[in-house]
């Protein structure tokens, strides 16, 4: 982790070299002295204000992207949270958007619903409540957003369509908002409709009416978390237009549409980025943070995802602002997108305004200027090149960026400024010696010699800081020998450490019918296969677990090894699956006498190209040939939508 650099002070003068710029930048400066002229850009508030700035955020969920974060021990977990949320430190995010769990696989796992059925509610399942509380501790003004990706089946009354009974769906969502306030003292600021699915104008109106009827008039509706198509509908439907506060679009490529501008609503890139968090990902993020406003007049950009805290071999591994995927070691990585975020978030706040004098630089790149209308000014400049700033989507048309000299003239109420803080980052793809978030001071108007792949923040705000923590522990693999009997009297979270639900919801359970060795279990409460767990590299291993089938005749459970798919591809997973069923059969032969309501211990052993299975310690089948996959996770799960319990899980890998 880079340590903060000492503050430097420079007086602005023609052709002064900025500290920490690399040799190739100095050569460009010399060439400019010999004949390169500066382009002029005016920063002036007299021509009027642009749109109100709504903040930069991160998204936890869609799905289960923060799953491993909760299992970090202190002080590392708090350090990670500080990097994301602490005011004037590192990312200093303005917005936290979370998934409203729906008991279904939504990209990298399942997040539990607060209402598995219409007759019960539990506002302590999962970890999003905890994450929102921790974010609020570090930034009391952070905005909170909830969005469903999926719904429990009962919400659609069995129709698989949540809009079929709009009142039921609206009540379900409003109950989540109620739980946030009543049980966690969290005020939800915005609520979404249904992630990247069709919107329904009737449902949106019913949701607005339901919110208003119970006093949540300040909760704004974001719609429709997909494309721009709702904008045209809002122009034609005044009731829909009145109900929607924010038009939220995903991956807009920094462009908007005329219909959206005509609504005069807030325009947000409510999900963006989704790119591996190396320096190219940082370039993507730096570019769209500016250009979403310059090109698209959007006033908020939210990163999917907040933090890559899930097993890397799942879908979109590493696509977070930072990485924390080893709670067993305490290791985490503060990736370069964190510092690109800080260039905006530490020096602005929601409620500031963009100036109309923003735009693109003559030789590539962009600049924005924001003010708080109380005398503060922040300018953010980026010069990201095409090949070093490609996001995962949409395709990026070619453009050119070259070194350039830019003079910024401060006019209007800023003409008198004599003390400007300057923060600088360089993504150096040639020498690999990046510079992150270094600080200098300028006096008055200024001329910058801009190289490619740089970010500057010039600001009157003097509270910015990098922050500093000791190095986190070294990375190390998941333990080869691990066990869990799930004996926890008052678990802090509903899910057992390191298990990552992929299809289904597995919760700690106090089994009141058993006062013996199975008094505490892991209970599958909703759906089917499989639950990915552990280290993707496991090849030769023995995995064992006690299981209890609860559904007569048709019920069944499995234990698995070398499961090669999780996330969105979980239903195409290959591996070694050892099934037993309540009707007395198992995967290979039948008539073994298994039934519901009785505990069995399954043991699966995979060595090289062969697998064998034991039931209660006795070999049941052996020498099953396993050609592929050659390594992957261990897993457990159920046959169908049914209850089942698991206990005394153990794995021993070679």
Is 236 among the residues known to form the active site? Answer: no
Tell me which residue of 125, 113, 105, 64 sits closest to 503, measured CA to CA: 105
Residue 353 CB partners (closer than 8 Å, separation 6+): 49, 50, 51, 52, 53, 370, 371, 372, 373
Tokens of 223: 């719609």
From the candidates 99, 111, 128, 271, give the one annotated as an active-site residue.
271
| Residue keyed to tokens 């946030």 | 180
- Residues 251, 264: Cα–Cα separation, whole Å: 20
- Residues 268, 543: Cα–Cα separation, whole Å: 47
Residue 410 CB partners (closer than 8 Å, separation 6+): 43, 44, 377, 417, 444, 445
Contact 563, 626 (CB under 8 A): no
Tell me which residue of 332, 306, 317 sits closest to 71, measured CA to CA: 332
Residue 336 CB partners (closer than 8 Å, separation 6+): 277, 278, 279, 281, 282, 427, 434, 436
**3-state percent helix, strand, coil for the chain, nearest multiple of 5:** 20, 30, 50
Which CA distances in Å does 325 have to 2, 40, 49, 70, 84? Answer: 20, 46, 43, 11, 15
| Residue keyed to tokens 């009297």 | 489
The DSSP element (H or E) to which 591 belongs, if any, is: none
- Residues 340, 454: Cα–Cα separation, whole Å: 10
Is 271 among the residues known to form the active site? Answer: yes
From the candidates 39, 52, 196, 245, give the one annotated as an active-site residue.
196
Which residues are designated catalytic? Answer: 196, 271
């Amino acid at each position: 982790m880079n340590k903060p650099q000492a503050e430097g002070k420079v007086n602005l003068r023609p052709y002064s070299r900025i500290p920490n710029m690399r040799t190739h930048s100095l050569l460009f400066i010399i060439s400019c002295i010999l004949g390169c002229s500066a382009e002029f850009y005016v920063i002036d508030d007299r021509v009027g204000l642009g749109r109100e700035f709504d903040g930069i955020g991160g998204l936890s969920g869609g799905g289960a992207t923060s799953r491993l974060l909760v299992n970090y021990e202190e002080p590392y977990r708090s350090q990670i949270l500080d990097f994301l949320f602490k005011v004037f430190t590192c990312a200093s995010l303005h917005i936290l958007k979370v998934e409203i769990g729906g008991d279904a696989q939504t990209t990298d796992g399942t997040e539990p619903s607060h209402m598995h059925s219409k007759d019960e509610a539990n506002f302590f399942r999962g970890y999003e409540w905890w994450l929102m509380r921790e974010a609020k501790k570090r930034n009391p003004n952070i905005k909170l957003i909830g969005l469903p990706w999926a719904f429990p089946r009962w919400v659609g009354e069995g129709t698989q369509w949540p809009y079929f009974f709009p009142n039921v769906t609206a009540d379900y969502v409003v109950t989540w908002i109620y739980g946030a306030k009543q049980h966690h003292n969290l005020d939800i600021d915005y609520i979404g409709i249904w992630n990247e699915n069709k919107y329904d104008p009737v449902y949106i109106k019913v949701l607005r009416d339901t919110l208003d009827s119970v006093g949540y008039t300040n909760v704004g509706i974001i719609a429709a978390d997909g494309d721009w198509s709702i904008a045209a509908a809002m122009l034609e439907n005044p009731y829909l237009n009145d109900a929607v506060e924010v038009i939220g679009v995903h991956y807009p490529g920094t462009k908007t549409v005329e219909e959206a501008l005509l609504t005069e609503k807030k325009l947000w890139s409510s999900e963006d980025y989704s790119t591996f968090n190396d320096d190219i990902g940082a370039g993507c993020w730096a570019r769209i943070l500016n250009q979403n406003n310059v090109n698209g007049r959007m006033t908020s950009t939210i990163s999917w995802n907040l933090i890559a805290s899930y097993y890397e071999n799942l879908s979109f591994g590493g696509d977070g602002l930072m990485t924390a995927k080893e709670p067993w070691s305490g290791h985490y990585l503060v990736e370069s997108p964190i510092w690109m975020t800080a260039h905006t978030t530490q020096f602005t706040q929601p409620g500031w305004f963009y100036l109309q004098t923003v735009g693109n630089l003559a030789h590539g790149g962009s600049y924005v200027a924001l003010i708080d209308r109380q005398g503060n000014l922040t300018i953010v400049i980026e010069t990201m090149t095409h090949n070093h700033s490609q996001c995962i989507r949409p395709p990026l048309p070619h453009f050119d960026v070259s070194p350039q000299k830019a003079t910024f003239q401060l006019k209007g109420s800023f003409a008198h400024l004599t003390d400007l803080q300057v923060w600088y980052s360089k993504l150096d793809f040639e020498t690999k010696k990046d510079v992150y978030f270094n600080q200098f001071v300028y006096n008055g108007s200024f001329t910058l010699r801009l190289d490619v792949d740089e970010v500057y923040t010039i600001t009157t705000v003097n509270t910015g800081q990098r922050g500093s923590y000791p190095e986190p522990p070294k990375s190390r693999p998941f333990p080869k020998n691990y066990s869990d009997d799930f004996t926890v009297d008052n678990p802090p979270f509903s899910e057992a450490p390191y298990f990552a639900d992929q299809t289904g919801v597995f919760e700690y359970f106090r089994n009141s019918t058993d006062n013996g060795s199975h008094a505490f279990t892991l209970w599958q409460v909703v759906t089917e296969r499989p639950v990915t767990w552990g280290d993707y590299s496991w090849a030769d291993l023995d995995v064992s677990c006690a299981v209890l089938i609860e559904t007569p005749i048709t019920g069944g459970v499995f234990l698995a090894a070398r499961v090669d798919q999780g996330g969105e591809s979980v239903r195409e997973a290959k591996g070694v699956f050892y099934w037993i069923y309540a009707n007395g059969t198992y995967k290979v032969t039948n008539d073994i006498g298994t039934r519901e309501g009785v505990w069995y211990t399954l043991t699966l052993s995979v060595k090289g190209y062969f697998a064998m299975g034991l039931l209660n310690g006795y070999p049941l089948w052996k020498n099953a040939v396993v050609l592929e996959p050659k390594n992957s996770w261990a897993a457990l799960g159920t046959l169908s939508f049914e209850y089942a319990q698991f206990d005394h899980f153990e794995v021993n890998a070679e």
